[in-house]
Every structure is written in structure tokens, then in C-alpha cells.
Amino acid sequence: MARLMGGSAGFHVQGAHMQASRPPSLSFRTCAQLEISRFCAIPRFMGVKAVSASQQHIRHRFSSIRASALPCMQDDTTRYFDFVVIGSGVAGLRYALEVSKHGSVAIITKAEPHESNTNYAQGGVSAVLCPKDSVESHMQDTIVAGAYLCDEETVRIVCTEGPERVKELIAMGASFDHGEDGRLHLAREGGHSHNRIVHSADMTGKEIERALLQAVENDENISVFGHHFAIDLLTCQNNGEIFCYGVDSLDTKAQKVVRFISKVTLLASGGAGHIYPTTTNPPVATGDGIAMCHRAQAVISNMEFVQFHPTALSDEGLPIKPAKIRDNAFLVTEAVRGDGGILYNQSMERFMPLYDDRAELAPRDVVARSIDDQLKKRGEKYVLLDISHKPREKILAHFPNIAAECLRHGLDITQQPIPVVPAAHYMCGGVRAGLQGETSVKGLYVAGEVACTGLHGANRLASNSLLEALVFAQRAVQPSIDHMVDADADPCLAEKWARPVLSVSIKDSALSDIIERTKKTRMELQSIMWEYVGIVRSTNRLKNAEWKIGDLESEWEEFLFRRGWKPASVGIEACEMRNLFCCAKLVVKSALARRESRGLHFTEDFPYLEESKRKPTVIFPTAIQELTWSSKPLQRQLQCK
């Protein structure tokens, strides 16, 4: 039996279901009945309602929790909202703007509201907006890039509904590039058969984030809580099902724990790029949402599929090195290759045609492995991406951000090739979601990179991520409203969970030691993941990673508790570290379970794709949690009355 994190775990891998042990009070019988050949069968076991309530009923019900909660409120450490959104990227903001028409909304975000993966997205949003293009073509490109592991129904929904979501962004004030004919300029990227990428130069994510944040600021029903780190979901069990009633957070500015109680929670917290030492993700991407959901016993899927972007800027190859090590690698968008950029090794030999007939326009997994192979064979640390053969004015118009960043370091991309190297970029796996963003936890919805909807399969097609986030943020709205209207939460439930505590009792010297040790441990974990769970894997290296990560986690936790840390203690460095450990172990376990090479998961021991193993990896909740601090919620799960 496959085992996950020291406990029994149910895996759907290679067509076989290995049954998990489960607590008597938590029945996942309907999960066990899931037809594995249908990746997104979740709507059949989530029980999501499709019936809308009247606006009058909604207004009456959404005010009740705040009114009845007042006698239970002791101070400002407990806040009550109808909807809580965790994350301020495109998925969280778009969802918040829709549900705010029906109730009060809190957006809690780890840093400044704009600091999200969305803000760093350069390429754009893929959508069928040209008469020569078609939904069927977009679907086919998505499925081919996803190594035929995509769920076809999900793909059709996203490709069909995507154009309308893009038009809504434009109506809200998002400004995208237009051609000389006045129409939207549609770029092309690797894996796409048509020009269909809507973009704003090479800063599309920043423009979308700007437009959405402006709309949020103008919405009086939305409250934004910056610098609030989500610690753990607040859950309870009732009649064999788990319900979510909000989240505990750490206000890192005021240094206090704030509890958010809500009828509906949307998790849009992004990915886990920082389990690797080099990633295009901002520092906030430490897998908090995936780890929280795993601890809350939500279903997790396809964690082995980590996408490495083929072309992150290699600082080592720049004429003028950056003054300090970057928090995250600078992304060189896929659109550079889509616009005619050519990859060379350092001897200026073009190599992509040796690996794939599509050359530089092959999907990301192919290009990343090809670059990795070149680097290893030649003993070099970067390759070169050349766009200088294009007209100078067009390069500067299409890629002003990349040109400016390179010029700051002495490199003119209109004259010289760009040094690039693969970097961890996107999690294709995550919290398993149904067709309306629902999870196996009632009242909890997911959208964006934290979710595994079935769209990406084994490898994400370029610029499909923002599209997926927009589509699923919208699809989660109506079921969320229905759940909010029917939810009868006891407002005094907020005081029944034990609260996390700040480590104020720990001496300053001990706390400094803990922070320093945690920083060192984080770097060691990232090094293990890059060395053993990188672009090319093997069973032996994965098992080594499993062993090394387990030892590293044990040593780190023992150090914390020796220095005065308590099981309920919280601090952002330690909480991020436990989430990184949780996500790293999920990736390793899922990778060991897949005994074939498909998409982003390539293993030397099983180098071929096998049709019989074209199944998602599904990790069901487990009764026996591994006895580590990283694997358990800080507060005990309640039995709902």
C-alpha cells in the first residue's frame, strides 16, 4: 500500500485504487466510488447545489451572522464575514468582486495586495478571440501540452468560457495591446497552434492586477487585510463530512493572531515555487494553501507535475551581476520564443531542432528538459536566447520590461542574446477541485494555481493559468452564494477552537536562533528538491529525497522545541517552513507513485509514457497523521453539533 507522510493514504495511480484507512467519524465513501477515468467527477460527490436564492433572502441571511456574532466578540482578534478570500491574485480578486454583490467579503493576503504570482505573469491570457481560431483548436493544444492527462470536460469549459472572461476584464478597465488595425494584438507562445495570447506588452499580470485592485478599492463591501498570513483552516466534522468556517491568520504588522469566521472560504493562495532554490515565483509562494488543505483533510492531486519555466534570466551570464541574490528569478516570457527567439548553447549552436520538430515552440516540459540536457552534457550553467535578429523597435515595444532589466545589468537584448536557465514556475497539481471550484471540504472553494481542476493535466499550456483562474473564480460564485445562504453557522463557534499563540515567551536570543536555523533549513530543503526532485528524476533519487527531507524535518522540529517552541506557537518563518516541508513531501510521494514519464514528470527508470497509466494521482485524507508539526493543524478539529 502506498503510504503518504507516515500514514495510510489512498492513491489513484495507474488505474489502481489503494484504499486508505479513515477515521470512523469521517466517511469518504463517495470518494472511494469516484470513477478514476473521469478526473473531474468531483461534482458527483461534492453535492453542490445549483439552485439560486432570491436577492431578498440573500440580504437577510448574510447580515445575520454579523448581528448574532456581536455578543460573542471579545476584541478585534475575531472578525466575521460572509465570504473570506485567501489570496489577492487574479482568482481571489475576481471572485471577491462578484460575491461582494451578495455579502461582506474579507480578502486576506500575505504581503501587499499586489504581491502575487499574477503580478509577475508576463505573457498574457490565452483565449479564442480570432475568427481563424477555434475552441476545438485551443482544446487540442491544451490536451497535447498536458500529455493527454487533462480532463476534457474541464478543458472545454475553460476554452469556451474564457473569451467572455477576457472581455469582462477589458470592460473593467484592463488595457491590452492592440495592433495597427485597432484590434487586440494576439501573440503566440509555445504549444499554441494559433495567435491567441491577449497581452499588455510583457507585463500582462501587472496590468490585470492593477485593474482588479482598483475595482476592489472602489467596492465598499470588500475589506482587504494586507500582511495577514493564513495559518490553518478552521474545520469541524459533522455526519461524516468536513466543514470549513474560516481561517486563523497572523497579522505580521500588529503581531497578533486574527481569526476570520465566514460562511464560505475561497482559497486562491497560489503555488509552492519556493520548495526549489530558483523560482520565478515571488517570496510569498510557499505552498501555504496546499499545505493548509492537506492538514484539513482535503483531497490533493497531481503534485508530481511541477512546471519548470525554460527561460528564467541567468544572473551568472549577465555582464554586470546583480548586487544581491534575487528573492525570485526574473522571468523571460514564453512570448520571446513565440515571437521568433532562438535558443543556442554557449558555442552559438542551435539545439532545439535536435530534440523536437517544433523546436523553440515545443511545450515547456520539452524545452526545459532539452536545456537541462544541454547544460549537463556541456558542463555549462546557462544557455542563450536570441531575439536580436528582430527589428529593434518591435523588440522594445513587445518586451520593454525584459529589455530594461537586462540593460540595467549591461546587456542590450536588441544586440545580444539573453542568458537563460530553467526555474521552478508553476504547480500543475494542488487541491482537487470540481467543475465549480468546490473541494471535498464543505464551504471551501479553490481557484488559481492552488487548485487542481484537471485543465493542465501533466503540463500547463502557456498562458492558460490566468485563463483558468478567471474561469474558475467565476464558476465558484453561484455555489458559494447558495452555500452562504443555507449556512447556519453558530457565531460563538469562533471561541471553541484553541487559538495559536505568538512566541512571546521565547527569549530573544532563542528566537533569533530559531529564525536563523529555519533559514538554513529552508535552503537545505530547496537544495534537496533541486538535486533529487528536479527536471529529470529517478526512483533512487526520489527515495533519497524522501529520506533526507524526513531527517531534515525531524532535526528542525527538535531544534525548535528544544529552544522553547510550543505546538501552538506561530511565527511566519516557522509556519512557512512547515508548509514547504508539507508540499515537498507531497511532490516526492506523488512522483514515486507515478511509474511512467508523462509531461513534467520524467523519470529515468520509467522513461516512456504508458497509456494504461494515464490516470491522475489522487491523495485522499488519512486517519493517521505523521507525527510531525508540519503535518497537523495547530488547532484540534471540532465535532459540529
Query: pLDDT tens digits, residue range 259-273?
Result: 999 999 999 999 999
What integer pLDDT is reported at residue 119 of this predicted model?
Answer: 56
Say if residue 527's pLDDT is above 50. Answer: yes
Interaxial angle between packed helices 572-593 and 288-295, expressed in degrees from 0 to 180 and rounded to the nearest 10: 80
Identify the residue with better confidence: 495 or 432.
432
Q: Is the pLDDT of residue 357 over 60?
A: yes
Listed range (309-313, 361-365, 401-405, 485-489) with the worst mean pLDDT = 485-489
User: Does residue 628 contact residue 584 with C-beta atoms inside 8 Å?
Assistant: no
pLDDT of 372 > 60? The answer is yes
Mean pLDDT of 277-296: 94
Cα–Cα distance, 130 to 311 (Å, whole number): 28
Q: What is the pLDDT of residues 230-241, one digit of tens each?
A: 999 999 988 889
Confidence class for position 7, pLDDT limits 50, 70, 90: very low
**What percentage of the chain exceeds 70 in pLDDT?**
85
C-alpha cell at 334: 514564453
Position 349 scores a pLDDT of 97
Residue 70 reports pLDDT greater than 80: no
Give the closest residue to 154 by CA, choosing from 234, 39, 236, 240. 39
- Domains belonging to the chain, first-starting first, are 78-305+428-495 (3.50.50.60), 312-423 (3.90.700.10), 506-565+571-610 (1.20.58.100)
Q: Give the angle subtended at the CA of 255 by the CAs of 253 and 261, to the nearest 5°.
A: 95
Give the torsion through C-alpha atoms of 521, 523, 526, 527, to 10 deg.
-110
Per-residue pLDDT tens over the stretch 428-468: 999 999 999 999 999 999 999 999 999 999 999 989 999 99
What are the grid coordinates assigned to 211, written together?
485593474
How far is it, in rounded angstroms, from Cα 29 to Cα 359? 47
Return d(Cα 252, Cα 573) in angstroms, integer.
Answer: 11
Beta strands in 454-582 (DSSP E): 501-502, 569-570
- The residue assigned the cell 489503494 is 18
Mean pLDDT of 618-627: 73
Cα 262 from chain centroid (whole Å):
22
Per the annotation, the verdict on 636 as an active-site residue is: no
Q: What is the mean pLDDT of the chain?
A: 86
Cα–Cα distance for residue pair 122/503, rounded to 1 Å:
39
DSSP annotation of 526 reads: H
Beta carbons of 347 and 436 less than 8 angstroms apart: no
* pLDDT band at 115; cut points 50, 70, 90: low
What is the 8-class DSSP label of residue 499? P
Q: Is the pLDDT of residue 25 over 80?
A: no
- 378: exposed, middle or buried (Cβ count in 10 Å: 0-12, 13-18, 19+): middle
Taking CA atoms, 342 is separated from 171, 201, 217, 381, 386, in Å, by 36, 20, 42, 18, 5
Q: Which position has the higher pLDDT, 423 or 495?
A: 423
In this prediction, residue 352 carries a pLDDT of 97
Cell of residue 531, nine digits: 538535486
Give pLDDT, residue 20. 32
Rounded CA gap, 89 and 426, in Å?
14
Handedness of CA 369, 419, 424, 464 (dihedral sign): negative
Number of Cβ within 10 Å of residue 107's Cβ equals: 27
pLDDT band for 424, please (50, 70, 90 cuts).
very high
What is the pLDDT, as a whole number, of residue 46?
32
- Parallel, antiparallel, or unpaired: how do β-strands 256-267 and 197-198 relate? unpaired
Q: pLDDT category, 393, cuts 50, 70, 90?
A: very high
Catalytic residue among 295, 364, 517, 522: 364
Q: 142: which residues sit within 8 A by CB, 6+ positions away?
A: 150, 155, 158, 159, 455, 456, 457, 461, 464
Please give the pLDDT value at position 239: 84
What distance in Å separates the CA atoms of residue 104 and residue 102, rounded to the nearest whole number? 7
Residue 54, pLDDT above cutoff 70: no
SS3 18: strand
**What are 497-519's pLDDT values in tens digits?**
999 999 777 888 899 999 999 99
pLDDT band for 279, please (50, 70, 90 cuts). very high
For residues 544 and 532, give the distance between their C-alpha atoms in angstroms, rounded to a whole number: 7
CA atoms of 7 and 295, how far apart (whole Å): 13
**Cβ neighbours, 10 Å, residue 245:** 28
pLDDT band at 113 (very low <50, low <70, confident <90, very high): low
Q: Outline where DSSP puts E strands in 211-341.
A: 222-225, 228-238, 241-251, 256-267, 300-301, 306-313
